[in-house]
Amino acid sequence: MQRARSVEAKQQRERAILDAARELAEARTVREVTLTDVAAAVGMHKSAMLRYFETREQIFLALTAEAWVEWSAWIRGNLEAGDGRDRGAGQGRDQGAGQGRDQGAGQGRDQGAGDGRDRGAHAAAVIARSLAARPLFCDLLAHAAMNLERNVSLETAYAYKTSTLEQVLLVTDHLRGLLDLTVQQTRDLVGTATSMAGAFWQMSATPGSQLEQMYTEHPDIAHANVEVEPRLTRILTALIAGMRVNP
Amino acid sequence: MQRARSVEAKQQRERAILDAARELAEARTVREVTLTDVAAAVGMHKSAMLRYFETREQIFLALTAEAWVEWSAWIRGNLEAGDGRDRGAGQGRDQGAGQGRDQGAGQGRDQGAGDGRDRGAHAAAVIARSLAARPLFCDLLAHAAMNLERNVSLETAYAYKTSTLEQVLLVTDHLRGLLDLTVQQTRDLVGTATSMAGAFWQMSATPGSQLEQMYTEHPDIAHANVEVEPRLTRILTALIAGMRVNP
């Protein structure tokens, strides 16, 4: 009983740390959140917090794994074969009222089952929108391979990798059925979508960023700003169409 | 005369710093090279070095700009319309003897001018190989947007951006002529190729990396290792084919 309570207390504490880190990263960006910031937000001493997570990177890697689970479930639950039943791109906790503009991802485009090309364009648009609607996931995706996986123990990196691979497999299986692609093509599609979302998000001038300031002060190069959703939609649409041409 | 000599001396010193940083980053990775390492390699005090470059990031951003110029020139000088004249993917200073395996990017594939699809597949293979043959460029590409552009002054970031945009424009113009794509499609193609090269390189188990150790100790997930060149070739081939289908 004592032990059960202590396990539960530990889980609650871990949850509180993860939630605090997520809120801070959503408000700023991943790179701007330190371990000290998280400790302050959750009201713990840094040394005490390190009993729950070995490094700052382990916290953000855990958030990345959770974001994969959430995104994977959303895609599988919402992306249908262009039958107009897609229910917006928002995350579970954001849904409900006020999400009107996201209703129906295939608006007026391929309301019926659609032919192959329409189905591909529809899936591309929904995938792009689902990623653009998750800025923290995009931010984490770019950081994961470059920074987060490298500042944790081998076992933590392995646990993260197996968890993520499981989600990739689930999304891949779902998309393959919808799009009639090979396993390798679908894996390449998911790899491209998530890698590009991460990379493009880093290149986009988010509010308050130095990039935004640069494009404001130098309108001659403002066209270089990357708009994540339209660019990702175009690229994924062409990618899926091309995969169908050359199986 | 005195002034001319001092300008020249300054340029030589800058060149020595950049060369030292490049050699260190090639031997390790960008993330593992500190300002102290560069100062030691070039035989200067760190404080003296900061008169030439404001931060560690400015050094690597300058190397990224140079790598763009080199890659852009290589693509424009070597990627022809599938006529078998491509001269390998190596960088200028690596060429010559011992590069036999890189000779002829379109081996036996589309030796003639080729039809549209062949030309696209040929260009995809050459672009993928040219990037995979430049691991430091890949490494820098991933770091540029995420870390390097953010730790320099606005003016340095702006100078980097205009220089890079110029190279993107040159490559875009060249590829557009070869592949018969729109301006926006070609820009998306170059953006995808360079972003994916950066992202995939970070995900690949380079020799001596913790990732390599993980895949060795956990062969069950070794299939998740990303091989940059074949994966990038597949994706760019499909992307170009799809762009031709949906102009």
Cα gap B88→B123, rounded to integer Å: 13
For the stretch B110-146, pLDDT in tens is 333 457 778 999 999 999 999 999 999 999 999 998 8
Gap between the Cα atoms of A112 and A93, Å rounded: 29
Q: Which of B21, B23, B26 is nearest to B57 (CA)?
A: B21
Tell me the mean pLDDT in the region B241-247.
85
Burial class of A57 by CB neighbour count within 10 A (0 to 12, 13 to 18, 19+)? buried
Mean pLDDT is lowest, of A105-109, A187-191, B4-8, B90-94, for: A105-109
Mean model confidence pLDDT for chain B: 85
Predicted complex ipTM exceeds 0.95: no
C-alpha–C-alpha distance, residues B23 and B8, integer Å = 22
Structure tokens at B170: 């040159």
Contacts of B140 (CB under 8 A, 6+ apart): B25, B30, B60, B63, B64, B67, B148, B198
**pLDDT value of residue A185:** 96
Q: What is the pTM of this model?
A: 0.86
Helix (H) or strand (E) holding A86, with range, is none
Nearest to A242 among B149, B202, B239 (CB): B239
Cα-Cα-Cα-Cα torsion A215, A216, A219, A222, nearest 10 degrees, comes to: 30
* Interface contact A241-B237, CB threshold 8 A: no
- pLDDT of A104 above 70: no
Tell me how close the Cα of B245 comes to any Cα of chain A, in angstroms: 7
**Do B195 and A200 form a contact (C-beta atoms < 8 A)?**
yes
- What does the pLDDT average to over A43-51? 92
Q: How distant is the Cα of B142 from the closest Cα of chain A, in angstroms?
A: 8
Query: Out of B198, B217, B244, whose CB is closest to A199?
Result: B198
The model's confidence at residue B212, banded by pLDDT at 50, 70 and 90, is: confident
| Closest CA of chain A from B70, distance in Å | 21
In this predicted model, what pLDDT tens digit does every residue of A174-230 receive, in sequence order?
999 999 999 999 999 999 999 999 999 998 887 778 888 888 888 888 888 888 999
What confidence score (pLDDT) does residue B3 get? 66
Residue contact A221–B162, C-beta within 8 A: yes
Measure A213 CA to nearest chain B CA, in Å.
8
Domains of chain B: 1-53 (1.10.10), 61-83+117-245 (1.10.357.10)
Q: What is the DSSP letter of A220?
A: G
Q: For residue B179, is pLDDT > 90?
A: yes
The per-residue pLDDT for B223 is 83
- The minimal CB distance from B158 to the residues A149, A162, A218 is found for A218
**CB contact (8 A) between residue A199 and residue B202:** no
d(CA B117, CA B107): 16
Would the CB atoms of A195 and B191 count as touching at under 8 Å? no
**At residue A246, does pLDDT exceed 60?**
yes
Q: Which residues of A touch B242 (CB under 8 A)?
A: 237-245
Closest C-alpha to B74, from B63, B82, B66? B66
DSSP structural state of residue B52: T
Question: B29 pLDDT exceeds 70?
Answer: yes
Question: Residue A101: is its pLDDT beyond 50?
Answer: no
Would you place residue B170 in the very low, low, confident or very high pLDDT band (cuts 50, 70, 90)? Answer: very high
List for chain A the helix, strand, coil content (%; round to 5).
Answer: 75, 0, 25
Highest mean pLDDT among A77-81, A156-160, B88-92, B117-121: A156-160
CA distance B174 to B71: 13
Per-residue model confidence (pLDDT) at position A222: 86
pLDDT score of B92 more than 60:
no
The tokens for A57 are 């990177």
Contacts with B144 (C-beta within 8 Å, 6 or more apart), sequence order: B61, B64, B160, B198
Mean pLDDT of B161-167: 95
Size of interface A-B (CB pairs under 8 A): 144
Distance CA B42, CA B17 (A): 6
Cβ within 8 Å, pair B142-A199:
yes
Residue of chain A minimizing CA distance to B204:
A145
Which of B145, B211, B235 lies at the smallest CB-CB distance from A188? B235
Task: Provide CB contacts within 8 A for B128, sequence distance 6+.
Answer: B193, B197, B228, B229, B230, B232, B233, B236
What's the rounded Cα separation, in Å, for the pair B134 and A173? 34
* CB A14, CB A49: distance < 8 Å: no
Which of A87-101, A232-246, B184-198 has the least mean pLDDT? A87-101
What does the pLDDT look like over B36-77, one tens digit per residue?
999 999 999 999 998 999 899 999 999 999 999 999 999 999
- Angle B236-B242-B243 from CA coordinates, rounded to 5°: 90
Q: Look at residues B120, B4, B81, B50 and name the one whose alpha carbon lies nearest to residue A238.
A: B120
How would you class A115 by CB atoms within 10 Å of its CB: exposed for 0-12, middle for 13-18, buried for 19 or more?
exposed
Q: Are A149 and A157 in contact (CB under 8 A)?
A: yes
Query: Stretch B21-26: mean pLDDT, rounded?
Result: 96
Q: How far apart are CA B216 and CA B55, in angstroms?
A: 37
Alpha-carbon separation of residue B205 from A150, A212, A227, B34 (angstroms): 12, 34, 31, 22
CB-CB neighbors (< 8 A) of B237 in chain A: 242, 246
CA dist list (Å): A160 to A60, A61, B64: 11, 7, 31
Alpha helices in chain B (DSSP H): 2-27, 35-42, 46-49, 56-78, 116-132, 135-146, 154-179, 183-203, 210-217, 228-245
Average pLDDT over residues B1-9: 75
Dmax (CA) of chain A: 67
| Residue A127: pLDDT over 80 | yes
Which pair of tokens denotes residue A210?
Answer: 């130095």
